[in-house]
């Protein structure tokens, strides 16, 4: 059964416009962790995290994605209580910021707790594979970002192998979408993420980026792309993580060109500007949904 790509995403208290004439939305990364790969320790204090979130909103972020558990390659799992201690106070403080609040978690207990505190989206790197995860979100109005990851953060970069990376990521996403629909979750609440850097080599990531339009059209849901500052950018440019701005912006524009409707980034103002220029050139007119 074929589906027409929706021009809106139901996201908790918000309906986000994702039409072809809209600029791709920018999701600002807010890691309240001491050990994330890019900005670990910078925003783990609640006051610094809240200040940073408000600055990202001022800089044009459309969504704030709050993460309390590092999922960098090799990261150990975090106790649920500690993840909630990091995330919930920030979520509470930003509740009335005027933008959708996403929580990056793979744990059903955390999902239930943050939805009770008003989270608008659950961004699950494990694709809601935990049998309890879909039950945790099914009765809410939150958006679900269903991501592909091979294995888990501790093992995902240990010689990842695919016979056909595009087909295997596609099939996984289609299966998880069907599982969500079977729980009564409507398509208008769903978006997908190919999971750049999560159990993938440089070649896997480049194949997925090259074929991203095909993936998005096949699954027929809005696609979120997160390439910001990742090791793929470093391997291509030879730059350390804090010097990957130009490469990250290039990746964001390429992802947008190939169908991504949400771009997850650390560097919000620069990415917003780049996407505004890309959008104006694509449409031949100055039209912006910021």
Residues with catalytic roles: 230, 264
Residue 104 to residue 113: CA distance in whole angstroms: 13
Coil, helix or strand for 154?
coil
Q: From CA 175, how far away is CA 77, in angstroms rounded?
A: 25
- Collapsing DSSP to helix, strand or coil, 195 comes out as coil
Q: Write the burial class of residue 286 (CB in 10 Å: 0-12 exposed, 13-18 middle, 19+ buried).
A: exposed
Beta strands in the chain (DSSP E): 8-11, 14-17, 25-31, 63-67, 101-104, 121-124, 143-147, 190-193, 223-225, 260-265
8 A C-beta contact, residue 126 and residue 107: no
Phi, psi dihedrals of residue 171, rounded to the nearest 5°: -65, -40
Nearest to 259 by CA among 189, 227, 211: 211
| Dihedral of the alpha carbons of 37, 38, 40, 41, in degrees to the nearest 10 | 150
Question: Is the CA virtual torsion 53, 54, 59, 65 positive or negative?
Answer: positive
């Amino acid at each position: 059964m074929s589906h027409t790509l929706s021009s809106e995403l139901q996201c908790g208290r918000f309906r986000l416009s994702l039409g072809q004439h809209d600029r791709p939305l920018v999701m600002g990364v807010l890691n309240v962790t001491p050990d994330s790969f890019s900005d670990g320790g910078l925003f783990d204090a609640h006051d610094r995290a809240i200040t940073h979130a408000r600055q990202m909103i001022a800089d044009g972020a459309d969504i704030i994605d709050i993460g309390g558990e590092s999922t960098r390659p090799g990261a150990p799992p975090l106790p649920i209580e500690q993840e909630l201690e990091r995330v919930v106070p920030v979520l509470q403080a930003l509740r009335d910021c005027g933008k959708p609040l996403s929580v990056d978690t793979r744990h059903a207990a955390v999902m239930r707790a943050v939805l009770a505190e008003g989270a608008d989206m659950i961004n699950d790197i494990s694709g809601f594979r935990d049998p309890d995860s879909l039950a945790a979100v099914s009765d809410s109005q939150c958006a679900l970002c269903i991501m592909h990851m091979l294995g888990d953060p501790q093992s995902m970069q240990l010689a990842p192998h695919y016979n056909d990376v595009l087909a295997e990521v596609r099939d996984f996403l289609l299966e998880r979408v069907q599982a969500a629909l079977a729980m009564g979750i409507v398509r208008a609440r769903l978006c997908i993420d190919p999971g750049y850097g999560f159990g993938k080599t440089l070649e896997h990531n480049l194949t997925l980026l090259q074929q991203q339009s095909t993936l998005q059209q096949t699954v027929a849901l809005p696609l979120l792309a997160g390439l910001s500052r990742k090791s793929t950018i470093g391997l291509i440019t030879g730059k350390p993580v804090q010097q990957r701005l130009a490469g990250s912006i290039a990746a964001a524009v390429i992802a947008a060109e190939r169908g991504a409707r949400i771009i997850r980034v650390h560097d919000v103002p620069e990415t917003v500007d780049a996407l505004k220029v890309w959008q104006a050139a694509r449409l031949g007119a100055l039209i912006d949904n910021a």
